[in-house]
A and B are shown apart, each in its own frame.
Chain A
Amino acid sequence: EAGVTQFPSHSVIEKGQTVTLRCDPISGHDNLYWYRRVMGKEIKFLLHFVKESKQDESGMPNNRFLAERTGGTYSTLKVQPAELEDSGVYFCASSQDGGRKTQYFGPGTRLLVL
């Protein structure tokens, strides 16, 4: 069974540009999460989808970040315009339906904003 996949694995962009990250969850997983680790800090929750609906987006840093999950399958996280402080590793995770299901993480996308 394929795990959670993320694309791209690395992205280097200039301040002010736009970047879109993609996450493909494990097939059949209704829950999809985005997290971010900024250099030297902890992994922080960004948001949680249940199917195509945003269940919790309390961790989204500001309105430059837009997450979508049209159709309830893959998700995209767009940063527009990117700022230097957006640099970090963006992780996606998915889990089956239900409260205590294990979250399976993707390999992450390393974003560097210059």
Chain B
Amino acid sequence: AQRVTQPEKLLSVFKGAPVELKCNYSYSGSPELFWYVQYSRQRLQLLLRHISRESIKGFTADLNKGETSFHLKKPFAQEEDSAMYYCALTPGRNSGGYQKVTFGTGTKLQVIP
């Protein structure tokens, strides 16, 4: 069974401090990993996906298959980063049901001015 674990419900950091939101997953094959974000009063939206290997709004995430982790990082937090962040996975493209997204419970990031 596929599972995504986000151990922190709330992460508070000061503006300008580094951010790391933790995410671990369990899946028997080669999944695709994502980070979704939900800002206050806005809808859930895709932040980044591991296959793109891109940096969005200063955030990066590296897939570590050995540790089955996909932590989200940003070197300097900004107030506008305050939001709910969800780590998620889908089965690999060669697996059945590959469009089904499994979410973690989410981490609320609070950036203190």
> A44 vs B88: C-alpha distance in the bound complex, in angstroms?
11
Contact of A43 with B103 in the complex, beta carbons under 8 Å: yes
Interface residue B69 (Cβ < 8 Å from any Cβ of A) = no
Contact of B97 with A106 in the complex, beta carbons under 8 Å: no
Interface SS, B side: loop
Contact of A100 with B32 in the complex, beta carbons under 8 Å: yes
**Which residues in window 56-108 of A have CB below 8 A to B?**
56, 58-59, 91, 95, 99-100, 102-108
> A59 vs B99: C-alpha distance in the bound complex, in angstroms?
13
Contact of B46 with A56 in the complex, beta carbons under 8 Å: no
Q: CB-CB < 8 A to A42: which residues of B?
A: 4, 103-106
Contact of B43 with A103 in the complex, beta carbons under 8 Å: no
Q: CB-CB < 8 A to A44: which residues of B?
A: 103
Q: CB-CB < 8 A to B4: which residues of A?
A: 42
Contact of B101 with A45 in the complex, beta carbons under 8 Å: yes
> A56 vs B102: C-alpha distance in the bound complex, in angstroms?
14
Q: CB-CB < 8 A to A108: which residues of B?
A: 43-44
Of all chain B residues, the one with the shortest Cβ separation from A31 is B99
**Smallest distance from the beta carbon of B4 to chain A beta carbons, Å?**
7
Contact of B43 with A3 in the complex, beta carbons under 8 Å: yes
Contact with B along A25-50 (1 / 0, CB 8 A): 00000010101000011111100100
27 pairs of residues in contact across A and B, judged by CB atoms under 8 Å: A4-B43, A33-B99, A33-B101, A35-B101, A42-B4, A42-B103, A42-B104, A42-B106, A43-B44, A43-B106, A48-B100, A56-B97, A56-B99, A56-B100, A58-B97, A58-B100, A59-B100, A95-B99, A100-B51, A100-B93, A103-B46, A103-B99, A104-B45, A105-B44, A106-B43, A108-B43, A108-B44
